[in-house]
């Protein structure tokens, strides 16, 4: 009997799937899939960052005068870190960096000078989190001894180096954070402030993985009738250490300061009388360790 040369049609579900699945394309320091870059419209890529108000979700608060807003960490973490990475904050303060690290499935090592402030931050995390994901160090960030303590915590977290560095120092002597002589807000001169800041930045540089990024969050100040460019000067100190500057971002300060409304007219008078302008911005400098 002759064989039929009618080809049997496979059911639809048995046909091979010929669709091309693109491999996820990421950078070594980020989880952003560049094949789907249009899906990340919430990530800022320009140098003007404007936020209407401080994010107070996820346990963030503004009880500590001088802390940076959480949206900065959100932007930087998603852009320059991966899940599980360790953020090293050399001026932990109220713990913004650590809180956002936990929220975004990152980890954090925070260094804070004041023991009472370390205890306040500890209460924002569970005992388990303080063992596995959030490590707090009470130490002078400018002292070389801090590197040994950071390394000990990195060993516990099974990493050789940190993957992102945050530096949010006092803006010289604008706000006094303590009576401690090691506190950068108590420097006897701006030149001393710069030198101590450079020591902190050097310690952070040494503990940062090569190729990874760092952020300096800082503003300028007025003194003796002239502007003191703290931002540019501290950024230069970081370049002297060996950091490569990648971006200078200007961020608005409106909605992020406390009690300004009560003194707005006074500051306006002072500006008109003194020939200066009222600060409405601060800077975020982004660097890479090369």
Q: What are phi and psi of 166, to 5 degrees?
A: -120, 130
Q: Which among 99, 153, 152 has a CA at the least distance from the CA of 121?
A: 99
CA 44/CA 68 separation, integer angstroms: 17
Written as one string, the DSSP assignment of 252-273 is E-TTTSSSHHHHHHHHHHHHHH
Percent of the chain with pLDDT over 90: 76
CA 107/CA 98 separation, integer angstroms: 7
Task: Tell me the sheet residues that pair with 226.
Answer: 223
Q: Is 118 helix (H, G, I), strand (E, B) or coil?
A: helix
Q: Is the pLDDT of residue 33 over 90?
A: yes
Per-residue pLDDT band at 14 (split at 50, 70, 90): low
CATH number at 46-289: 3.40.50.150
Q: Is the pLDDT of residue 159 over 80?
A: yes
Per-residue pLDDT band at 56 (split at 50, 70, 90): confident
pLDDT score, position 117: 95
**Average pLDDT score, the chain:** 90
Percent of the chain with pLDDT over 70: 86
pLDDT score, position 17: 60
DSSP state of 187: -
* Spatial CB neighbours of 124, under 8 Å, sequence gap ≥ 6: 59, 95, 98, 99
Q: Is the pLDDT of residue 52 over 90?
A: no
pLDDT tens per residue, range 193-221: 999 999 999 999 999 999 999 999 999 99
227 vs 253, higher pLDDT: 227
pLDDT tens per residue, range 89-129: 999 999 999 999 999 999 999 999 999 999 999 999 999 99
pLDDT score, position 62: 59
90 vs 268, higher pLDDT: 90
179 vs 21, higher pLDDT: 179
Cα–Cα distances in angstroms (integers) from residue 173 to residues 78, 193, 234, in the given order: 32, 9, 14
List the domain boundaries for the chain: 46-289
pLDDT tens per residue, range 66-82: 689 999 999 999 999 99
pTM of this prediction? 0.88
Q: Is the pLDDT of residue 232 over 80?
A: yes
């Amino acid at each position: 009997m002759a064989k039929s040369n009618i080809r049997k049609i496979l059911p639809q579900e048995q046909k091979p799937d010929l669709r091309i699945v693109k491999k996820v394309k990421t950078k070594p320091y980020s989880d952003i899939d560049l094949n789907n870059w249009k899906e990340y419209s919430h990530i800022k890529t320009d140098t003007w960052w404007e936020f209407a108000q401080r994010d107070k979700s996820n346990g963030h608060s503004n009880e500590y005068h001088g802390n940076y807003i959480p949206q900065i960490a959100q932007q930087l973490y998603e852009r320059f870190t991966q899940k599980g990475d360790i953020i090293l904050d050399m001026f932990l303060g109220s713990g913004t960096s650590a809180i956002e690290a936990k929220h975004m499935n990152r980890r954090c090592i925070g260094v804070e000078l004041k023991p009472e402030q370390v205890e306040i931050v500890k209460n924002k995390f569970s005992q388990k989190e303080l063992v596995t994901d959030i490590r707090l160090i009470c130490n002078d960030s400018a002292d070389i001894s801090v590197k040994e303590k950071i390394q000990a915590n990195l060993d516990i977290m099974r990493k050789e180096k940190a993957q992102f560095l945050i530096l949010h120092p006092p803006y010289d002597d604008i706000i006094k954070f303590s009576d401690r002589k090691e506190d950068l807000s108590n420097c006897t001169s701006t030149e001393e402030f710069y030198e101590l800041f450079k020591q902190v930045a050097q310690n952070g540089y040494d503990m940062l993985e090569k190729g990874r990024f760092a952020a300096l969050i800082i503003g300028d100040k007025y003194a003796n009738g002239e502007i003191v460019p703290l931002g540019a000067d501290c950024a230069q100190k970081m370049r002297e250490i060996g950091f490569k500057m990648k971006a200078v971002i200007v961020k608005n300060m409106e909605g992020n300061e406390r009690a300004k409304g009560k003194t707005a007219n006074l500051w306006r008078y002072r500006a008109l009388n003194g020939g200066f302008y009222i600060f409405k911005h601060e800077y975020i400098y982004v660097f890479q360790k090369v």
